Structure formats: C-alpha cells, structure tokens
Amino acid sequence: MRIGVDTGGTFTDCVVIEDGQVKVLKVFSTPDDAARAILDGVRRLLANRQPRSLDIIHGTTVGTNSVLERRGARVALITTAGFEDLLEIGRQARPRLYDLSVERQPPLVPRPLRFGVKERISAEGKLIARPSASELAQLKRRVKRSGAESLAVCCLFSFANPTNERAVVRALNGLGIPTSVSHQILPEFREYERLSTVVINAFLAPRLATYLARLERAVGEGSPLSTGHAALRALTHRRGREPKGFPYQSAGRIYVMQSSGGIMTAARAAQEPVRTILSGPAGGVVAAAWLAELLGLRRTVSFDMGGTSTDVCLLDAQPRTTSETTLDGLPIAIPVLDVHSVGAGGGSRARIDAGGALRVGPESAGAVPGPICYGRGGTEPTVTDANLLLGRLDPEYFLGGEFPLDLRAAERQFVDFLQRQGERSQAHFKSPQELARGIVAVANATMEKALRVISVERGHDPRDFTLICYGGAGGLHAADLARSLRLPRVIVPQNPGAFSALGILLADVVKDVTRSVLLPLPLDGSQSASATRRLLQELERRFERLEHAARVELRREGFAPERAQAERRLDLRYRGQSYELSVPFVANFRELFQREHEKAYGYIHPGRPLEIVNLRLRLGIPTPKPRPRASVIRHADPGNARLKRRPVWFAESLLRAPFYDRERLQAGMRLAGPAVIVEYSSTTVIPPDFVCRVDKYRNLVLRRR
C-alpha cells in the first residue's frame, strides 16, 4: 500500500488510492513533532487493513520551517582562503532599491565558524595549489574545537576539478560530523549561489536526518508494529499519548517529495535536504499537471490556498522548472518547480498596522492555536474566521461534521478586536461582518498579485488560462480571483483539500544531475561544421557518463534503473551574457534557444556566438497513475443534494444561498449562484454571477454567467 502525506502548517493530509478510488484523511499538524501527526493519520487511514508492505511518500515542511525560523545546525564552512566572507557579501543586490534602512538577515554561518584553506583551482579546472598536510591537520583541530554540528565544504572552481575538496573531506572524515560537499550537491559555476546552496544543505542535514530516521524507524522496524513499540514511544512520550501501531507483514519505507516534482528515498533526502525546500507545493503542481492532461487542458494555473500560504504556478503544457529561487533572501540553485508563494492562507492573521491600515498575513495562526473558531486558544481574527462570519463556511459541516466550528467565539473576538483596534484603524469598521469583508478583500488582493506575477508580469494573458483550484481554503476565494483576472474558467477537483497529497502520491521517482561545462558553440556554417560535429560528440559522451553514474546511484538506492527515462537539456546563452535559458538537447537546439530568447527578452542576435553553460540530465521512473472513471452525463436536478439555505455575504449583499453536499452531486448537474458546496476537505463558494457544472470526472467547473 502506498500512502501520500502532505504536512502543512495547519493540517496533515493523508491520501491512499484503493480500487481506483481516492480516500483522504485530514488531521491537525503537530508543529512540535511533525512525525506524530503523520503516524496518527496513517494509522487511522489503514484502520483494519493489513497490507503486506507500506510505502509512505512524504511532502515535508521541516526544511522550509528550519530556514525561516533559523532553527538548524551549527555549521562550519570550509572554503578557499580569501573567500570566507563571500557568504556575507553575496551579490550586493538590494532587495528594495531605494530603501536605505534595509536590514539583511545574518548569514547562516557566523564569521568565527568560517575557515579558509590555501588551495586554488583555475577556472579551466587546472590544479594550481594543493592544501598542505599540516594545514589540513590544523584545520581539523580548529573545526573540532568550534563545536560544529555540520560541515559545508565549498572551494573555488571545484565543479571543474574536485581534487582539493576531496582532500579536505578526507582530512575531516574522522570528526564524525555530517558533511555537505559542493561538487556533490551542486557542481555548477556561480560561486555565491553554489556556496549558499551547500551551506543551507549543511544547516538542514542533522535536523532532517534525525526527523526522517525516527519516522523511518516507526514504519520500518520489525513487524508487526505494536502499541508498545519503542520507536513509537520515543515519538510520542512527551505528550503522554501513543498512537497505535501499523499491523503489516513486512517493513515499510519512506520516500520524500523533492522541490523539482519527483520523489527520492529518505536516505538521500537526509543527505541532500536542500532538495526538499518546496516539497509540499511541488505535490500540488504535479497533481494539477496530471489533471490538466486528463482534461486535455494545455494552459492552466495551479492555485493552492492552504492554512498558512498560497502557492501558484503557471503550467504551459508542463510546469516550468527553475534553478533561480530564494528562501528568506537566501539563493538556492537546485532545480525547483517555479512556484510563487505568498503569506495568505486560511490561518493568516489580521492586524491594524502603525498607519492604521488593515493587514492580513503573512503571520499565521497555524495549527496551534489556529483560527479562533477552532476553539484551540486562538484570539486573533483570521481569514477562516472571516469566511465563517460571512456565512461562507457551514460551522456544522467542517471536516464532514467531525469538527464543528465555534461561530460565537469568532464573533466575540471580532467585537473585541474592533474595540481594541478601531480607534487606530483608518477604515472604521462598523461591525464584525464589515471587518470580515475587509479581511477577505485584503487576502484576495494579496493572492491576485501573486497570480499576476506568474502571468501578466511574464507576458501571459490570464484570459487564456484555466484556474485549477485546490487546498482547504482555495474554493472559498477562487471565483473572486477569476473575476478580477478575467480567467474564463475555474476547476475544483475532487478532494481539493488533499490534492497536494494526491500529487505527492502520483509523483515519479526523479534524479536530477547537472554539470557546468562553459563550452563555446561554433557558429553555424560550412566552415565550422566539423568543429560543431566534434563538440556534439563530446557533449554526447559527457551526457553518457552523467547518465551511467546516475543509473548506478538509482540501483544503489533500490530502484530499477532500466525503467528510468532520460531527459537531456542544455543551458545556453549568448557569449558574454550573465544568464542562460534551458532547452532540450535535440538536433535543432540552436533554433529552440533563439525562440526562447525572443519570447523571454523580445529580441535575438542570429549572428552572435552561443555558449553552453550547463548540462542537465533528469532520470525519471514513472509511478502508476490512476485513470478516473468517467461518469455518464445526466442533466438531473441537484435538489437532492441540497442541505439547507443560509444567509451568505457576497460583496456588500446578504443573500440566502443553498448549501449542497458535493458527495451527492452527479455528473451533468448545473448549479446557479449564489450557492455553496460543502465537502469533507474543502468548501466552494459560487457567487451570484457564476454558474457551476459537474463534469464527467465530477470536477466542479465554474464560469461567469
């Protein structure tokens, strides 16, 4: 049995596919120990089942949260002498050009923990100077005295020749400290980005390795797992509760979602935790791409609104992958899906700032204490509380009725908020409902800006795209955002609140490998034909070596490398440019580059020589994908699915709207707004100017009248 698990800021979602049917379960996350919520959710999802084996495919936020909260290992950095301060100097790029008071976050490695080694490799990979044995012995003593918990080794031009880096690693081996080495993590040029990526990996490695080891022990040691199992006790003793064991006959395995949209083993994730930075959002994008292919949609935008953040990604046939991303101002150069995130979710807290303006997020109530209406100690108004006050959430049907919401508590705290903050506010909200409308409007504006960043600001017309909406809170806001951006259609899939967990379950096994080569490409023409042919043969040989090494690693990790499908790409640029574009390594890659360059920058230089910067190889082993059964379209009356009528606020109008049970809606049914559709994992609001149709796969399709 394979179970997909997505750990979010508020809920942990578990998904399993049985007999072609998707079954989901949501449990509250446990921020103090994410593994406890996972074990509880998996146990409840298994119920009385006894599978022969159990695979858990996990999307984790441990890495992301560790960087944002600066709760990682004490890292010692070893680099080329004279470059110890590169981590702090960076690119000298200002986050806000005209702000003279910008305060940068301190580097992950303080100055006393940065050590220089007298070594040098030329830009062409020539060995110029080796570190001496006495210097390496002294370095080992200094690192040992520093109290470092993790090591990052990044020498100048080691991507071209790792000889000196290997010598440093050999000298420090006896310390027994986890070590992140740049020529293994990211053998690419651009020293600062490579250095930052390796330092982040070292910063995360001990914490993520410990977390994954504990989780893997709990599902992989001995059989059957019982209530008294020592690993389970170790995970839960602080709370005095022990989840029951998982009765299966053979050991379970843990896989982890990568930021690039593929999965890897827990062991590899422990060694390269930097690849899990956008683990959770990547799962949703994978599921959106699968659904778009199923429905025959080429241009879509994924919109994932959860409890803490909203993640959006533009898909033009396939989601775009980038190696230029940042987290909390720190560059990360590993391949990631091009997801744009903003701090607007169901748990985003409202406040009045110093200027008297209403702000929403990025601070979140999280799972503990959570929104006010959860009754877990929250006192600050959130987006979820606002939707409840506006009638858009049914307090009796949250999580299928398993967790009723406290409407009275939310109303009391909104009144108290108005009394405390009303005098400072420029808006002067007259009632809790008016404040709730303001909170929803501000959250919508933040999410609309995120959607514009990935579409309008990149030259795409939103009117050409379909919005695929998911996440526990996505359906509450999707129609309003579609109206603002003139998106023609919104699709809400089944089980939207656990859609990212489904994507994690559907993700392929992926291994990404890169190498910087910095090779000039001869100009087209008869005189350079032989030089071009020799270069292409050399590229082919290099790709073959990369692919052979990657397949060996896949076999070592327990996969069948013969099943892996290879995708080869080149990073190209005009000689002298600072940045490059990625194109497939095919016969007409020159023409593809010119086409991509004109699309990105609006011009091309046909006679200018090109340079090949990086070789990129992706090996993917496909996982089984479910094919949902198409239902027969029947134009039936949705009246049988109606639960009740309640007053709901739409903009400034209070209208009585019917509430429908999504489980009872059949393919072909049409609903005219205003209406609200409730289900276990989410709620979908249909405004008065929208209509909703249930398609043959029982997706909700919303369009403006």
As a whole number of angstroms, the distance between CA 466 and CA 335 comes to 25
pLDDT at 231: 32
Q: State yes or no: cis peptide before 609, omega within 30 of 0.
A: no
CA dihedral 460, 190, 610, 566 (to 10 degrees): -70
DSSP designation for 480: H
SS3 697: coil
Q: Same fold for the domain at 72-192 and the one at 278-506? A: no
User: If you average pLDDT over residues 255-278, what whole number do you get?
Assistant: 92
Residue 245 predicted with pLDDT over 60: no
Q: Are 293 and 351 in contact (CB under 8 A)?
A: no
Burial 484-511 (b: 16+ CB within 10 A, else e): ebebeebbbbbbbbbbbbbbbbbbbbbb
Q: State yes or no: cis peptide before 674, omega within 30 of 0.
A: yes
DSSP designation for 215: H
CATH 3.30.450 fits 72-192, yes or no: no
Query: To the nearest whole percent, how much of the chain has pLDDT over 70?
Result: 93
As a whole number of angstroms, the distance between CA 3 and CA 642 comes to 33
The pTM of this model reads 0.88
Residue 197 predicted with pLDDT over 70: yes
Largest interatomic CA distance in the chain: 84
Q: Are 462 and 487 in contact (CB under 8 A)?
A: yes
pLDDT tens-digit map of 317-343: 888 888 888 887 889 999 999 998 888
Hey, how many other C-beta atoms are within 10 angstroms of the C-beta on 670? 13
pLDDT tens-digit map of 504-533: 999 999 999 999 999 988 776 555 677 778
User: If you average pLDDT over residues 413-441, what whole number do you get?
Assistant: 82
pLDDT at 424: 61
Pairing of β 114-117 and β 675-678: unpaired
User: If you average pLDDT over residues 559-573, what whole number do you get?
Assistant: 94
Closest of 192, 96, 106, 205 to residue 148, by C-alpha: 205
Q: Are 38 and 231 in contact (CB under 8 A)?
A: no
As a whole number of angstroms, the distance between CA 646 and CA 655 comes to 8
**CATH code, 278-506:** 3.30.420
What ranges do the domains of the chain cover? 72-192, 278-506, 509-621
User: If you average pLDDT over residues 342-350, what whole number do you get?
Assistant: 88
pLDDT tens-digit map of 68-96: 778 899 999 999 999 999 999 988 777 77
563: which 2 tokens? 């099943």
The DSSP code sequence of 157-211 is TTTT--HHHHHHHHHHGGG---EEEHHHH---S-HHHHHHHHHHHHHHHHHHHHH
DSSP designation for 507: P
